[in-house]
Amino acid sequence: MTSRAWGYLGWAVVAACFAVVELGAVATRRWATVADALRALTRRRTLQLACLAGWLWLGWHFFVRSSR
Amino acid sequence: MHRGRRRLSPAAPPPVRPSPQSIVTAAVESPSGEEHRCRAEEVAIAVEVSGRTRRTALAVAAGLLCGWWVTALTPFSAGATVAVLAFGAAEVAGAEVLRRRRRPHRPSGAGRRPALRGVAYLPWVLAVAGLAAWELFELFSLPRSAHPTISSLVDPLLAHHVLRWLAFAGWAWLGWELAR
């Protein structure tokens, strides 16, 4: 198996983890859903501002800096 | 001979649909009391909600149009940088204005799920840590071409304008959720 294939497999596992966490949260209500996590992040002003700064950086990274 | 032509009768005028304002006025001025007052309040709320829905739809449509333009700009250009940052700043400012307007009307904690304990967020912390660890591992592994990162996975998709635009809409929605 090539290292590129391992890379794709790793990303598939990461994506599956996110899906399992969200589906598990919705099904069992034992832990936070993504909406709960977003709400918790925006409850404190400093955390909210940090998230917004990260969000702006993401926009710049993907829509300005990406090569087409 | 006159097939397809409607004969207009002066005795039957077309039905007139009352405006929401006229319903409110009529209901408030009616002497029959509480029932009509409740109806007036319902109609007033419906009018307000319909106005808010229209404003929201207009804002979303304007955002999508603006997003189409922004995602068509040349990458690495100053114009694209300014456009993305200005869009983000405008969205955050809009959310801030709405939040300040809304705050006095909302009782504390109303309509919200009670705050979860810290341990309830642990699965998300672990998932995000896993993502960050894998991204860093791939980023610093050589040769670079054999180790895909999020950017190298997403870049070929974002080469298509429609997909880029949809991603921009998703990004804008996330920003709204974070800012409001």
Nearest chain A CA: its distance from B46 CA (Å): 28
The pLDDT assigned to B103 comes to: 66
Q: What is the pLDDT of residues A43-63, one digit of tens each?
A: 888 999 999 999 999 999 988
CA quadruple A7, A8, A12, A17: dihedral, nearest 10: 10
CA dihedral sign of residues B57, A38, A17, B158: positive
**Contact check, Cβ <8 Å, B171/A64:** no
- Report d(CA B128, CA B143) in Å as an integer: 25
Q: Where are the domains of chain B?
A: 18-61, 71-104+134-180
CA quadruple B165, B170, B173, B174: dihedral, nearest 10: -140
Question: Which residues, numbered 3 to 62 in chain A, qualify as contacts with chain B under a Cβ-Cβ cut-off of 8 Å?
Answer: 3-4, 7-8, 10-11, 14, 17-18, 21, 24-25, 30-32, 34, 36-43, 48, 51-52, 55-56, 58-62
Please report, in tens digits, the pLDDT of each residue of chain B (180 residues total).
444 444 445 555 555 555 555 555 555 555 566 666 667 777 666 666 677 788 888 888 888 998 898 888 888 888 888 888 999 999 999 888 888 887 665 554 555 566 678 788 999 999 999 999 999 999 998 888 888 999 888 888 888 899 999 999 999 999 998 888
Which residues in chain B touch residue A27, judged by CB atoms under 8 angstroms apart? none
CA dihedral sign of residues B146, B151, B152, B157: positive
Kindly indicate the confidence band of residue A40, based on its pLDDT and cuts at 50, 70 and 90: confident
End-to-end alpha carbon distance in chain B: 64
Query: Which among A26, A58, A46, A19 has a CA at the least distance from the CA of B174?
Result: A58
- Tell me what ipTM this predicted complex has: 0.85
Structure tokens belonging to residue A24: 């598990």
Question: pTM here?
Answer: 0.70
